[in-house]
Chains A and B, each alone.
Chain A
C-alpha cells in the first residue's frame, strides 16, 4: 500500500452504505456467531480428547450442531428473575456485556483491499489512527456488563464473582495496555491496519517477543479463561457473576465470553503475527497477500490461538486468587515497564544516532547484566541478614521483657505474659473494696 495515511483512512469513509458497509457489518456478525459456535464445539471436542473421552458427537456431523442445539435449548428455558434482583440493571447487564464484544471487531483488519460488489474496499469495517485504543476502550465498557450482572442479581456469589472478574480484567488490562506500547513505538501508529502494514518484513513476535508473551498472558487473564478462570471457580463461587442468570440472558453472556476470546486472539494476530499476512513458506508465492486469500491466513492464525486457549484449559490447574493478582501487578507490570524502557531507548538511538541492532543490544545488555549481578549480590547479603534477624527474633520471642526499651510494653505474638511481682504499695491500691455482681443485685 503506497498511499499516504490520510488517504488510507479516507478509503473507509468512501465506502457506500449500501451495499459495502452493510455487507461488512452483516458479514462480521455472521462470522463472529459462526466462530463462537465452532469454538464451543471445538473446545468440548478437544478437551474431551485431552481427557480421554469423545465429547459431543450426537447432533449433526461430528456433533458440530451441538452448540447450536444448546443455544436453542437455552432460549426455551424458563425465565427467572430473582426476587432480590434490580430488574432494570439485571436486564441491562447482558446487553452491556455483548454489544461491546461485537463492536470491537469493527477495527480488526481481515485482509487487504478486495473487490466487493464492484467496489474496491479494504477487508475491514473501519479504521482510525487510534483503533487499538478503541478496542481497549470497548473492552472496558464490556466489564460493566459483568460488574452489573454480579451486583444486580442480589446474590452474594454473583456479587463476589462479578467483583472478582472485573478486578481481574482491570488488572490484566493494565499489563495488556503496556504490551501495546512497544508495538506502537515500532509501528509508529496505533491503527490496526497500519500495524499490519508495518509488519510487512518482520512480524513483531520476532522483534518484540517479550511484549508478545506479556500480551498472551494478559489476554488469558483478560478473558477469564483457565488457568485464570477464578471468577467461575465452582468450588468457591458457583457460576460467578452469571449464577442467577438463565435462558437467553445466560446464553448471551456465554456468547460475549467467547467473542472476547476470539477478539483478543484476533488482536494478538494483528499486533504480533502480521495480521492477515501469509506465514513464511506461503509468503514466497506472490499472490499470497492479495485478494481474498489473506482472510484464510488470518482465520488460520486465529484458530491457532483458540486452540492454545483450549489446550491451556485442558492442561493447567486454576491459580489461587492472591497468587494470580500478585503475578499481574508485581511481575507482569514491572517487566513490561522495563521492556518499554528498553524498546524506547533502542528506537530513540536508531532514530537519532542511527545505531544498528548489534550496537543497541550490547549497550542495553551490558548494564542490565551488571545490574542483575549487583542485585543478586545485594539480595544474597540481605537474605543472610534476614536469616540472622529471624534467628534473633526467635530467641527474643522465648522471653518476654515487659519493660523492653524502658517502657511498659505488651507481649509480642508468640510471647506469653508473665505476671510481674507487684510491690506492696501497688497491692494496697488494687485491693480496694470491689462489689461483685451478686452483691449489686442484692442491693
Chain B
C-alpha cells in the first residue's frame, strides 16, 4: 500500500514541512479559538487567522494563485462582510453559555469525534499517484497558465454557469432588499430649500462669548454693533435667567465697546 504518509514524506522537502507544522498548528489554534471565544467578533478574527494559514499552506504546496485568492476572497471579502454585520448588529455581548437543547454538547462532541475518525480512516487509505502541482503545471508552463487554460478552455461552460448562479443570487438578494421609492429622493438642494423655508435660523447658532478674560457658556457673544447675541447662550440658561451679563464678566474696555462707545477706536484695539 502506498499510504498517503509515505508519499507525502517522499515529496515534501524540509521548508515545506516547517511551513506545514507552523501554519497547520496556527490554523488549528484559530479554529479552536473560533469555537471557544465568547465574543462574536473574536470568533470572526480567529477564523480569519485560520483562513490566512490555510492560504499559506496552499502556497507552500505550489498553488500560489489559489492561496492569493483564498486571502483576497475569503479573508478580505467574506470575513469582512461578516465583521461588518457583527459590528453593525452589535452582537458583541457575551452569549449565554447555558445549553438550550439538552445533551447538545455531548452529541456534537460525539459527532465530531466520529467525523474525525472517518476522515482519518479514509485519508490514511488513499493511494496517490501524482502528488503536488508540478506535474499539472508542467503541461501548460506554469500554475497560473494552467489554471487559465483549464478555466477558460476545458471548463469554460462550468465556470460561466457558476458565475451566472452567483449573479442570480446577488440580484435575488438585491430584489428582496429593494424597496420601491414612493416619492423622489431629496437632494442636497431640496434639503437646503426646506431648511430655509422653515423660517428658522439655517446655520449653526453663534458660539458663546470668548474674551481674553472670560470664557464660559453663560457669557453671551457680542454682535458687531456691540449688542448681545441672545441666542449664543443655551436656551435652558436663558430660561433660568442664569446669563452672566457682559459688564460682570468683562473689563471696562469691552463694556465700553458693548455700549457702542467709539472712544476706544484706535491703537488699543488694533
Contacts and interface: CB of A to CB of B under 8 A. Distances in A.
Which bucket holds chain A's interface residue count? 20 to 34
Contact of A133 (B48, B65, B77, B183): B65
Interface string A154-176: 00000100010011001001000
B76 A143 contact: yes
Contacts of B72: 133, 136-137, 140
A5 B137 CA distance: 13
A306 interface: no
B15 to A, nearest CB: 10
Interface stretch (A144-152, A286-294, A334-342, A425-433): A144-152
A141 B142 contact: no
Contacts of A324: none
Contacts, number: 76
Q: Determine the interface band of chain B, counting residues with CB < 8 A from chain A.
A: 20 to 34
Given A5-B142, A129-B142, A140-B77, A147 B83 contact: yes
Contacts of A144: 48, 75, 80, 83
A143 B75 CA distance: 10
A409 to B, nearest CB: 12
A134 interface: yes
Interface string B64-75: 110011011001
B75 A140 contact: yes
B77 A163 contact: no
A300 interface: no
Contact of A130 (B39, B64, B75, B88): B64
B183 A414 contact: yes
A129 B144 contact: yes
A147 B65 contact: no
Contacts of A151: 41, 83, 87
Interface string B193-218: 00000000000000000000000000
B80 A413 contact: no
Contacts of A382: none
B182 interface: yes
A163 B71 contact: no
Given A140-B72, A141-B71, A163-B87, A129 B77 contact: no
B45 A170 contact: no
B80 A143 contact: yes
A345 to B, nearest CB: 14
A173 B73 CA distance: 12
Contact of B45 (A89, A150, A167, A412): A89
Interface of A: 5, 86, 89, 92, 128-130, 133-134, 136-137, 140-141, 143-144, 147-148, 150-151, 159, 163, 166-167, 170, 173, 189-190, 320, 412-414
Given A137-B55, A140-B80, A413-B183, 20 more contacts: A86-B39, A86-B41, A89-B41, A89-B45, A92-B45, A128-B64, A129-B143, A130-B64, A133-B65, A133-B72, A136-B72, A137-B71, A137-B72, A143-B76, A144-B75, A147-B80, A159-B87, A163-B84, A166-B80, A170-B80
Interface of B: 39, 41-42, 45, 48, 52, 55, 64-65, 68-69, 71-72, 75-77, 80, 83-84, 87-88, 92, 141-144, 182-183, 188
Top 10 A-B pairs, shortest CB-CB distance: A140-B76, A137-B71, A133-B68, A413-B183, A137-B72, A129-B144, A130-B64, A137-B68, A151-B87, A130-B68
10 contacts: A86-B92, A129-B64, A136-B68, A136-B72, A137-B75, A140-B75, A140-B80, A144-B48, A166-B84, A413-B183
